[in-house]
Amino acid sequence: MLTEERHQIILKILRNKGIVKINELVKLTNTSESTIRRDLTYLERIHEVKRIHGGAALIKGRLNEPSYKEKQVQNIDEKSKIAKYASNLVEDGDCIYLDAGTTTFEMIKYIDKENIVVVTNGLKHIDALVEKDINAYILGGKVKGRTKAVIGTDALKNLEKFRFDKSFIGTNGIHLEYGFTTPDSEEAILKENAIKLSREAYVLADESKFGEVAFVKISDLNRAVIITNSKIEDYESYLQRTRIKVVTE
């Protein structure tokens, strides 16, 4: 059986059933497990299927909002600790900005102050905030499909009307030289401005973000306090440039 032929079969079955086990494919195509594994690795690399333990599944573009949910799984315990600590920084009467993103989202369930106002560009965040009866403001603007975050110049303009006591920002990279970075330039500029508009800015990031550099710079390290979960390698070097809070429990 030709490689291409197998690929077609795999995709066809997936379109019918949504999920297949490796064993099924082995029997069906009369080939070895190794071969099927190779097929699946390939098909995953070209974004045709999603591999799961024991088989493969169809990539679901829109139904389940997987990109958002799945992201949340990684390092969830660390994120949770960081979020918990950050939420304690919120004081009664504060006006704060919550950046869209999973770690800041986790914060919401730990916030116990009542008399506060929260501005955010995360639609998910709004749901959670409203459920906790917290005064919530959403930035207006274009909604980014994948992450359900509001971005763009409209959001930026909206943001500039506010002044915050504290802002809590997510990031993809933290680097001694290149500062805070993120892959999306529209998000970057929003984060940058939120930091500028705050009396105190906090960047929430688990250890995996250190040493990483993404496409667009948000700001230099010294503009925000980093809250993370572990003393990374170059801890001392980072400490020379900015403040870091390491949350152990």
Smallest distance from the beta carbon of 32 to DNA, in angstroms?
3
Among 27, 91, 115, 161, binds a second copy (CB under 8 A): 161
- 35 is a contact residue toward DNA (CB under 7 A): yes
41 forms part of the interface with a second copy (CB under 8 A): no
Question: Of 49-57, 90-98, 141-149, 163-171, which segment contacts DNA by CB under 7 A?
Answer: 49-57
Determine which residue in the list 7, 37, 231, 241 makes contact with DNA, applying CB under 7 A: 37
Tokens, residue 218? 């948000």
23 binds, among DNA, a second copy, none (CB under 5 to 8 A by kind): DNA
**Please, what is the minimum distance in Å from the beta carbon of residue 27 to a second copy?**
16
- Asked if 130 interacts with a second copy (CB under 8 A), we say yes
Pairing of strands 117-120, 95-98: parallel
- DSSP 8-state assignment for residue 155: H
Structure tokens at 7: 């690929």
**Which positions from 71 to 110 touch a second copy by CB under 8 A, shown as an x/- string?**
-xx--x----------------------------------
| Residue whose token pair is 């971005």 | 151
CA 237 – CA 21 distance, rounded (Å):
49
- Residue 138 tokens read as 């959403």
Q: What are phi and psi of 160, to 5 degrees?
A: -70, -10
35 interface partner picked from a second copy, DNA, none, CB below 5 to 8 A per type: DNA
Angle at 84 between CA 79 and CA 89, to 5 degrees: 125
Q: Which two tokens stand for residue 55?
A: 């088989």
Q: Which is nearest to 91 in space by CA: 126, 118, 115?
A: 115
Considering only 16, 34, 133, 177, the residue that binds DNA (CB under 7 A) is 34
Question: What is the number of residues in the chain?
Answer: 249
* Binding residues for DNA (CB under 7 A): 1-3, 6, 21-23, 31-35, 37-38, 41, 51-55
